[in-house]
Amino acid sequence: MRPGNFSQTGFLGPDESLRQVLDTDARALDELGVSAHMMAQQLGELLEAALASKNTATRVGHYDVRVQRYKGPQICPFAPNPHENPCPGAGGMRLASIDWDIRNTRNRVRLSGPGLIVHLIDAHTFFEGLQSPYRVAPHALAELLELGPFSPPSR
């Protein structure tokens, strides 16, 4: 997961511990009262809707979604034989060849990340390392998606 293996920038920083990152994110999810599956599902649905539009930028509900498509998928670092078989975990690899940028027009929160993050969150409860430039922090994602303490008040 270090820089230069499956990713030029890496899924973890040079000195990070995978166990510590997973523990930190588990605590964050607990504080938020949101499951990794719920976050991954909502983000995945937004991205799927944006991809279905065939445009690079589209409006999905109150979200402005931009998608950058790539020819090949990013490899899941948890796959047992990453170059031969994709990771069998939840979410599959259907979004692993995109990067995204999403802006919530209601609360003006904006966040970007790799499409593979949907699979990493759902299958491995992994939001990438604290030192990774592609990290999608649980609190930031919850705020973007209006989950947990960021849910809009009922009317």
Give tens-digit pLDDT for 82-128.
666 677 766 667 898 999 999 999 999 999 999 999 999 999 999 99
- Report the phi/psi class of residue 16: left, alpha or beta, with left for phi > 0 and alpha for psi in -120 to 50: beta
d(C-alpha 9, C-alpha 20), whole Å: 19
Q: What is the pTM of this model?
A: 0.91
d(C-alpha 8, C-alpha 127), whole Å: 17
Asked if the model's pLDDT at residue 33 lies above 80, the reply is yes
